[in-house]
Structure 1
């Protein structure tokens, strides 16, 4: 199968090398469209040479996976529109929610899908990617009109064989909200306190963590999500424990003086809170602090 990967950060590089390793054709689309190929080593293996940025080849891809940050989705995908066949499924894999709502109306003709993953990857250099955490990837419809077709099912099977486990999720919004709540607590706190995920389990952070989880829960309930407060709290704290030695992406962005995804993580939560008339002062405060750190 021929698969396009837009964005060759850690996750994009992981998918590109895993698919290449499984014998599939991969076309990488990078920020610099003048690059004609990229070389990436997966873990300690030899480098894979991957063709890049031949936009005329996009129409021959069976699917495109977009792994750029939520802040870069519109900028990365809009220039590709004229090169894509209208029936190609586009799979968006990024943190946060709301990025696809910014796409122009011309994208309505495309089958659009959202994905969320617990796979973890790290790029120690531009030519190496390390697979640092085994997880699963869930894919579901952006619009209710999109269904699991035979075409998409075969794509999911290919992705699953290259980097298991990959599954279709009928209610992808449930999974995205759960991931959003996790990110709304862990990402801003680790960015502000410049600490690892696991350090948030220390006693000095517990009041703040619990207040943030409580506010998340109120908004999620208003939005039709059904986890109990104790379930949500357990889930978020289990992630802190399981990823204890990791630095969150927002921590890394602030550390390296890059723009964060706060607008599509906490920013999305704040918009939903406003929509439902819910006060979320703790998330508002974190949002403002991260914005100050970005300056």
Structure 2
């Protein structure tokens, strides 16, 4: 299968190398469209040479996976519109919620899908990616009109064989809300305190963590999500434990003086809270602190 990958950060590089390793054709789309190839090594293996930025080849891809940050989605894919056949499934894999809502109406002709993953990757250099955590990837429809077709089912099978486990999710919003709650607690706190995920389990952070989880739970309930407070708390703290040695993406963005995804994570939660008349002072405070760090 021929698969385009827009964005060759850690996750994009992981998918590119895993798909290449499985024998598929991969076309990388990078920020610099003049770049004609990229070399990436997965873990300690030999480098893969991957063709890049031949936009005329996009129309021959069976699917496009967009792995750029939520803040970069619109900027990354708008220039590709004229090169994409209208029946190519576009799979968006990024943190946060609301990024696709900013796309222009012309994108309505494309089948759009959302994905969330617990796979973890890290790029120690521009030419190496490390697979730092095994997880699963869920894919579902952005719009109710999109369904699991035979075409998409075969794509999911290919992705699953390259980097298992990949599954269709009929209610992808449920998975996205759960991931949002995890990110709303872990990402801003690790960015502000410049610590690893697992350090948030230390006693000095517990009151703040519990307050943040409680506010997330209130908003999720108002939005029609059903996990209990204890279930949500257990899920978030299990992620802290499982990814204990990892630095969150927001931690890394602040550390490297890059723009974070706070607008599509915490600000999305704040806007939903305002919609339902719910006070979320702890998330408001974290949002303002991260914004100050960005500046």
- 1:261 positional shift: 0.2
* Secondary structure at 2:292 match in 1: helix
Alpha-carbon distance in 1 for matches of 2:265, 2:76? 19
Alpha-carbon distance in 2 for matches of 1:68, 1:197? 22
**Residues 190-211 of structure 1 deviation map (CA, whole Å, 9 limit, x = unaligned):** 0000011111111111110000
Alpha-carbon distance in 1 for matches of 2:280, 2:168? 33
- 1:25 positional shift: 0.4
**Residues 9-51 of structure 1 deviation map (CA, whole Å, 9 limit, x = unaligned):** 0000000000000000000000000000000011111110000
TM-score (norm 2): 1.00
Measured on the aligned residues, the alpha-carbon RMSD in Å equals 0.4
Alpha-carbon distance in 2 for matches of 1:207, 1:84? 49
Alpha-carbon distance in 2 for matches of 1:126, 1:202? 33
**Residues 58-99 of structure 1 deviation map (CA, whole Å, 9 limit, x = unaligned):** 000000000000000000000000000000000000000000
- 1:169 positional shift: 0.2
* Secondary structure at 2:131 match in 1: strand
* Secondary structure at 1:49 match in 2: strand
Residue aligning to 1:287:
287
Structure 1 stretches of at least 4 aligned residues deviating more than 3 Å after TM superposition: none
* Secondary structure at 1:56 match in 2: helix
- 1:4 positional shift: 0.1
Alpha-carbon distance in 1 for matches of 2:267, 2:239? 21
**Residues 75-131 of structure 1 deviation map (CA, whole Å, 9 limit, x = unaligned):** 000000000000000000000000000000000000000000000111110001111
Q: How does 1:181-192 map to 2 (within 5 A)?
A: 181-192=181-192
Alpha-carbon distance in 2 for matches of 1:195, 1:52? 35
Alpha-carbon distance in 2 for matches of 1:206, 1:158? 42
Alpha-carbon distance in 2 for matches of 1:130, 1:222? 39
**Unmatched 5+ stretches in structure 1:** none
* Secondary structure at 1:91 match in 2: strand
- 1:254 positional shift: 0.4
**Matched pairs, number:** 295
Alpha-carbon distance in 2 for matches of 1:19, 1:242? 25
- 1:179 positional shift: 0.2
Is residue 129 of structure 2 the alignment partner of residue 123 of structure 1? no
Alpha-carbon distance in 2 for matches of 1:196, 1:25? 36
* Secondary structure at 2:96 match in 1: coil
TM-score (norm 1): 1.00
- 1:167 positional shift: 0.2
**Unmatched 5+ stretches in structure 2:** none
- 1:178 positional shift: 0.2
- 1:172 positional shift: 0.2
Alpha-carbon distance in 1 for matches of 2:205, 2:14? 33
